[in-house]
Every structure is written in C-alpha cells, then in structure tokens.
Chain A
Amino acid sequence: MKVSFPRMGTSYIAFKHLIEHLGHECVVPPAPSSKTLNLGVKYSPEFACIPFKVLTGTYIEALEMGADTLITSGGVGPCRAGLYGMLHQKILKNLGYDFEMLVFEPPLLYLVDFVTKLRKILKPAKISWRRFYKELKAAWQKLMVLDDVEILSHQIRPYELHKGSTTIAFNKCLALIDRADSPDEIARSKEECIEILNSVPQDKSRKPLRVGIIGEIYVVLEPFMNLEIEKTLGELGVSTHRSIYLTQWARNNTIINTEGGIRKAAYPYLKRMIGGHGINSLGETVLYAKNGFDGVVQIAPFTCIPEIVAKSILPRVSKDLNIPVLSLTIDEQTGKAGLQTRLEAFVDLLQQKRMMEENVYARFSGN
C-alpha cells in the first residue's frame, strides 16, 4: 500500500515513521503551498472552511504522487470537520481517483469500526498486534520529540542575535529527527536537537513578551495556514506558547494540561460544548491571563462556527481579565502583509501596556 495523510505542521515526520515501520510505502504529502490551495479552492465547496480546502489540495497532490490509501481522522460533535472525510472521498472519487480512504473515528466511541479499519492496514503487511503496539509507541515518542523541539525553538527565537538563525537550526533538527530510526536513536536525536537549538547565539538580557496562541487546531498547527505566526512573532521578540500540540494530553508539565481544566476555566463564559475548539479558546484565554501572559492571539478559519462563537465572547474575557486578545480570520484571501501589520501593531500594543504597568508599579513602590 502507498499511504498518505493530511499534513499538519511537523507531525508528518512521525506519521511517516509509523507507516514505513508497518511495512507500507509512505507518500509524504508536500507542504501546503499556494498550488495546494489553488487546487483545493477549485474542487471544494465555496463556503467550506480553509482546512477543508487545503486538505482537498493536499489529497490531490498525494494521489498524483501515487498514493492509493488516505488516512484521516473523523470527529464527533457539532463541528462539521467530522463529515469532511466522507465529503473528501466523494469529491476525489468524482474526480476519477482510485483509492481507499480510512477515516478513523475516536476509538473509545467506535471501537469495532476502529479495529476493522486498523486491520486493513496491518493485514496486508502481516503485522502482529504486538508489533503494531511497539511501532506505535516509537512513533508516539517521535511525535513527542518533535513537539518538544518545536516548543524549545519558540522559546529560543525571541532571544536570537541573528534574525532567522533559530529557524535554520530548527530545520536542521527536523532532518535529524526524520533520520532517527529506533527508539534509542530517537532519544539521542532529541539530545542533539536541544544542543543545536541551545547553541544558537542568544541575547539573554532581553525580556520577551509572552503571547498565547489559541484557535482551531488545523490553522494553529500548520504554519502555511497561519502564515508562520510563531516565527513572525518570535522574530518580533515574542515568546509564544501554543495551546494545542498533538501530544498534549500526555503532558503534565505544560501550564495547560487537561481538557477538564480548560472547560472549568471557560465555564463562567460558556457552559456547553459548541464543537471544534470553541470552548478551548475561551478556557485557554482565561488560563493564559491567570498565568501572567501579556496577550493572546486567536486564529480561526473563515466561517468556523465554534471560533466565531468564541470570538464574540472573547472581548468580555479580555476586559474582565485585562488581557489583550487579537482575533485573526484566515481564508484563501488572507494576505501575509495584512497579517504582519496586525501582529506588529499587537506587539506594539503589548509593549506599551507592559511599559505603562511597570511605570505604575514603579510609582507605587517608590522606585
């Protein structure tokens, strides 16, 4: 089988590892580009959200590269992303592509369906369940390393002496992690990456602003979609903390750990699930404010209902907890220049706010 999947940020490196170790050929989907987007817009319903359109384009590119199986995730709840797998399948079949699409639903809700689909992948390559578990563990380890290294890069970037040097180091790290084959090698690649990133020349005397990034998962995770918000902010001297990582639920050392905590934090503002990451966006903003972050940036695809609901409640959260929030809506019309302007202005705003608060503090403390 020649397997492909949606591309989201750096996760493709771990998925590639898993697919290859399960004895299949992996067609790594190309990074989304304007070509992907053009293809996606051409063959998607006009009012579908941008993640849908980019995935359409990605699938077409992967199928053109020879993929015969597409793996994607389903979803439950009111967000329409849960239906995307089926819709994509219909659109692509109508275009004449011959392939099989495996849409994985949450295993705890649809166990039989999950096992059936998994078997379709394991059986042709004669992989035992025990072997599958072993490979899955290694791929998960890789995903964790990828996320850890990326988090570190966002922390280092605002201190870099030469603009862009962190990004170059980070790209080196990705190649290194990609090459790591066994669990031991993966563990070693992590050490090496940390060393590479830490050796980026830095000015530790800076006091970067801290900004939390919230919003819909796809536009938050895929840098092509958010026009590289973390790099842009990092190079403006801002340390960013992203609310969503694929390996998130396995972490307990990040400030925002459990879904329960997020829901509890959002409760005063929104009491029920509205699908997607709507409730998360509110809860995470509350948590960022309580953890002393300087500001929050929300990224949402155009026409994304959960994020629109969150966006209309966010001004109240922002006012109550005194944390500036910038909402950015992304679709195929979004231009990088406009986004850059808004981010620069937002950083200026945060800088001024911090300076003013420091002055007030100085006045009252007699310094």
Chain B
Amino acid sequence: MLGFLGIDVGSVSTNFVVIDAESNILVHLYLRTQGQPIRVLQEGMQLVKDSLPSTFTIAGVGTTGSGRILAGVMIGADVIKNEITAHAVATSFLVPEVQTILEIGGQDSKIIILRNGVVTDFAMNTVCAAGTGSFLDQQAARLNIPIENFGEIALRSKNPVRIAGRCTVFAESDMIHKQQMGHNVEDIIAGLCEALVRNYLNNIGKGKEILEPIAFQGGVAANLGIRAAFEKALNKKIIIPKYFNVMGAIGAAILAKEEVKNRKTTSFRGFAAAEQEYQASSFECTGCSNACEIINIQMNRSIIARWGSRCGKWEHV
C-alpha cells in the first residue's frame, strides 16, 4: 500500500499526517514541539512508523511550518512549502468552496481569502508575534482551568466583560484588574475570547472581504469560546474542519502527492533517517562585514545542510 507523509513543524506543535492515494487520512498525530523540533521529529516518525502496517510504503513527503526546512533536510522531503499555501490546499480539499480561512496557531495568526478555489489574498500577523494559542494556554494555567474546558466555561457566560485586547500583555493586565473587581470567571473568559477575536479581526482581518463558507482552524479552533466569539462578531456561521489542528500537515501531504505524481521518485530518507543522530550548530562568518550567522545541520557528525550566508559561500556542502 502507498501513502504520502505530511509534516508541519510549528513553534508549539509538530504534526504528522499520512494520506493514501485518494487523500483519505490514515494517520494523524499532534505532538508538542516543546522547543525541540529535532527530538519531536524523531519521536513522531517512530510513532508514524508504528501505526502503519509493515507493508506500507511512503511514496512522498512534504514539510511545512516554521521548521519546514530543517524537517525537509532531516527526513528528505520532496516538497517544502510555506504554511499559508499548505493550509489553503488542505482546507479547499476538506471544506469545498471555502472562501475564507481563519487560522490561529500557537504563535502565528493568519487569514486566507480564496475565490473559486484559488488564494487571492492573505495576511499574517507582522510586527507583533501575537501568540494567541500560547496566551490562552498561559491564562488557563493561571486560572487553574484545564485548557480543554476553557471554551466551555466561556459559553456559560451571560454577560462578557470587555477586556482591552490590543495585545496580550495589555489583555492580561486588564483581565487581572477585572478579576480584582469581582467579576466571575465565565464572564472574564468570555470577555477574553471576544477581545482576542476583536484584535484578530482589527489587525489581521482588516480590509479583507470575509465571505462564507468560513473555516476556522489551527490549535485555537478547539476553543469553543473563540469560535462563538467569531460567530458573534461576524454574524456568520463558522465551520471547524474535522482535522482542524493538523491542517498544515494534511496540506503538505497533498502537495507531496502532487509533486511525486510529476517526478515519479521520492527523496524520502526512510524511517531509519529518524533514528540517526542530528545536531544543529551555528557560527558567525568573518568573510566580510555582513557577519552572517551560518547554521550547520549534522547527521551522524557529518554536515548534511548549511544555510544563512548572504553571498552563498557556505550553502554548498
């Protein structure tokens, strides 16, 4: 049996998806990156291998996410794609006719506008790192509420508190202030969800034509409170795709399938590649005044990739 592997290495989560030739999803894995992309990639590959029958062949691999280049080099990817394209590809497959994609992940937030199945516009948080997912995580921990229940509690609110949502630093201090004034937890959490949505729509969604069907995905889509806040703010129905938290990986797998269809071969290093010893190191090049930071990726002590120089001096291994 043949299949295609998609890997999305993000700041908060690293996801794996295996699809078959008809793009049915056979395996999907959501792991925490915990600042160690190399280790989590190795663990994930092992888990993927274990969940597939031994006769199964990976015919193509695609990587996406902020760690896509590192993952691509380690695993031997056929296609290394940015997360915006990967998300758009996956969503158009799972939510046909989708015209707007709202995506909130651990660090990045984005909006993708599609018309007739083609991406016509997109935006991503620029100057501020946003970090909505991480922020919700942190607030849940501070309130001693499991993150899984966070959304549900928000839904119980009858009277959400208005919280300043320019950025999470202000939101947090305003939220503490509202707590000290005696508001109950439901109203505060619901208010927080509304503040984050307001901030998203004012910054990332600004000037964009948000048409239905609207898909909402990324780790934060698990939060029912945020979804409800979106529906309230937009006064439109929000669809959460079934595999909302691994959409990037699905997109990467679909892209790998298409790439291999044309190329007929794969660069996949095999599952054994995950068992090798990897190391990343860096140094400052002193060749000229640019002082570039050069990154070395080593497999079993030999350099397999190098990047970072402006002049191209170090790129050839």
Contact = CB atoms under 8 A, between A and B. Distances in A.
Interface of chain A, helix or strand or loop or mixed?
A: helix
Contacts of A171: 311
A315 B206 CA distance: 10
Nearest to A303: B127
Interface stretch (B25-33, B118-126, B144-152): B118-126
Interface in B81-124: 81-85, 116, 118-122, 124
A334 B128 CA distance: 9
Given A33-B290, A341-B84, A342-B124, 7 more contacts: A31-B290, A167-B312, A334-B127, A340-B82, A342-B84, A346-B122, A353-B118
B127 A352 contact: no
A302 B129 CA distance: 14
A164 B315 contact: yes
A331 interface: yes
Interface of B: 66, 81-85, 116, 118-122, 124, 126-127, 129, 207, 288-291, 293, 310-312, 315
B118 A352 contact: yes
B120 A333 contact: no
B82 A341 contact: yes
B6 to A, nearest CB: 16
Given A331-B127, A341-B82, A33 B291 contact: yes
A118 to B, nearest CB: 29
B127 A333 contact: yes
Interface string A339-367: 01110111011001100100000000000
Contacts of B83: 341, 345
A35 B119 contact: no
Interface of A: 30-31, 33-35, 163-164, 167-168, 171, 223-224, 228, 231, 302, 312, 315, 324, 328-329, 331, 333-334, 337-338, 340-342, 344-346, 348-349, 352-353, 356
Given A33-B291, A337-B66, A349-B119, A228 B310 contact: yes
A310 B207 CA distance: 13
Contacts of A333: 127, 129
A277 B132 CA distance: 34
B290 A302 contact: no
Contact of B291 (A34, A334, A345, A352): A34
Contacts of A352: 118-119
A71 B207 CA distance: 42
Given A31-B289, A349-B122, A164 B312 contact: yes
Contacts of B310: 223, 228, 231
A171 B290 CA distance: 13
